[in-house]
Amino acid sequence: MESDNNTTSPDISVILPALNEETTIGICIGKIQQVFRSMGIRGEVIVSDSSTDATAEIAQSMGAIIVHPEHRGYGYAYLEAFRHARGRYIVIGDADNTYDFLELPLLIRKLDEGADIVIGSRFKGEILEGAMIPLHRYIGNPLLTWVLNKVFGTDFSDTHSGFRAIRADSLKRLNLQSWGMEFASEMLIKASREGLIITEVPITYHPRGTPSKLSSYSDGWRHLRFILLLRPMPFLTIPGILCTLFGLVLMAAFYTSANDPDGRTHSFILGTILLTGGFQLLLSGVVIRVYSAVHGFERREGLVEKLLNYQTLEKLLVAGSVLVLAGLIIGGYILWGWMEAGFGSLNQIRNAVLSLSLVIIGLEIGFIAVFISMMCLNGDNPS
């Protein structure tokens, strides 16, 4: 990496999030500083510390810059440290000595060659015995990586590696926001969407010297939840559309059938379940997509842009009200017929189910319109 002799700013900022890493923080900083000397570059080490032990004191005694995040969280620790980083290249890595910072030149050289982001891939490199539990090595990490690749059309081998390097100007384009472990996924997803040049280099992953802070299931869910937030269509919208259409077909096919009314009624009820359940899935996907756009994870375009228009939301409220009214009218017709029959036997099951379906769907549309309207109250001027 070429140094700029006309500035006092460091060439590289290495950021280490730390939570009670007093036994390993000195080792990590020592390796980083050794690389700085061997490469002849200026560098700074920033420790984003939320520890209750001597981690911060040890790091500060070795010349590191100490940042104390206001909130806990893997992603938040980085977001806070980014505000203090001055290097043209920014490297992130864990402070538990699982990543060998003597391999730092592998990442830096790729940035020098033109990459925007470099990922230290454990699965292309070597995972030492005891460094990763079987659940993470053979199920968790490969599965989450596969899901992200399939949903976003990427081709990563290790989407959850914590050893990465990125150009400072590229980092600014990403507008990262996640506070938790999903920060790792957010960085790669947004970088891919921005068309950044992303490359992987093989690294060695070592056993940790301190107890792991990871929570396998909750952290894995956070990654999946973030993927769902950015791309709800494969998980909710498409299944919802299919269920809705199939339910409509069943209801239409069996509503007017006179043959075997009892058996047809059961099929009609099944169609109603598919219709209302599928429509709820569809609307859930729409709401998640709107939420993602309102909070800056997605662009406001297409359907989302139309839904964020107050006039569109008013039309949805009218449509929902019409459906509810139609359901109530059918329900009133059933009640009137029952009264005319002297409150005797009643054989209006399909009409009653139809009435209930119209009311439910109408209420769903109305509630969704109100909910989206509330999300629009973020300071933007209504269209």
Residue 89: CATH number of its domain: 3.90.550.10
Q: Look up the pTM and report it.
A: 0.78
pLDDT at 261: 55
Please indicate, yes or no, if residue 1 is contained in any of the structural domains: no
Which range of residues forms the domain containing residue 77?
Answer: 12-229
The answer on 209 and 69 residing in a single domain is yes
The pLDDT of residue 256 is above 50: yes
- 216 lies in the same domain as 310: no
Contacts of 37 (CB under 8 A, 6+ apart): none
pLDDT surpassing 70 at residue 228: yes
Is the per-residue pLDDT at 220 higher than 90? no
Asked if the structure places residue 56 within a domain, the reply is yes
My answer on whether 111 and 189 are in the same domain is yes
Do 244 and 143 lie in a common domain?
no
The arithmetic mean of pLDDT across residues 335-346, rounded, is 76
For the chain, counts of helices (H) and of strands (E): 14, 7
Partnered with residue 370 across adjacent β-strands are none
Q: Is 382 inside a domain boundary?
A: no
Task: Note whether 212 and 254 are same-domain residues.
Answer: no
> DSSP letters along 332-360, please?
HHHHHHHHHTTS-----HHHHHHHHHHHH
Which of the listed residues 229, 248, 280 is the one where a domain comes to its end?
Answer: 229
pLDDT for position 383 = 40
Q: Is residue 199 part of a domain?
A: yes
Residue type at 61 in one-letter notation = S
> Tell me, what's the pLDDT at 373?
82
Which one of 173, 195, 229 terminates a domain?
A: 229
Report residue 121 CA to chain centroid gap: 21
The verdict on residue 6 lying in a domain is: no
pLDDT band at 5 (very low <50, low <70, confident <90, very high): very low
Total tally of structural domains belonging to the chain? 2
Confidence of residue 312 (pLDDT cuts 50, 70, 90): confident
Burial status of residue 153 (CB atoms within 10 A of its CB: 0-12, 13-18, 19 or more): exposed
pLDDT confidence of residue 344: 67
Within its chain, how far is the Cα of 200 from the centroid?
A: 22
Token reading at 307: 């839904």
Domain boundary among 229, 260, 289: 229
Question: How many other CB atoms are found less than 10 A from the CB of residue 2?
Answer: 8
Phi then psi dihedrals of residue 199, to 5 deg: -135, 160
Quick one: 68 and 157 in the same domain?
Answer: yes
In a domain, 269, yes or no: yes
Residue 263 has pLDDT above 70, yes or no: no
Distance CA 65, CA 81 (A): 10
Which pLDDT band holds residue 188 (cuts at 50, 70, 90)?
Answer: very high
pLDDT tens for residues 113-161? 999 999 999 999 999 999 999 999 999 999 999 999 999 999 999 999 9
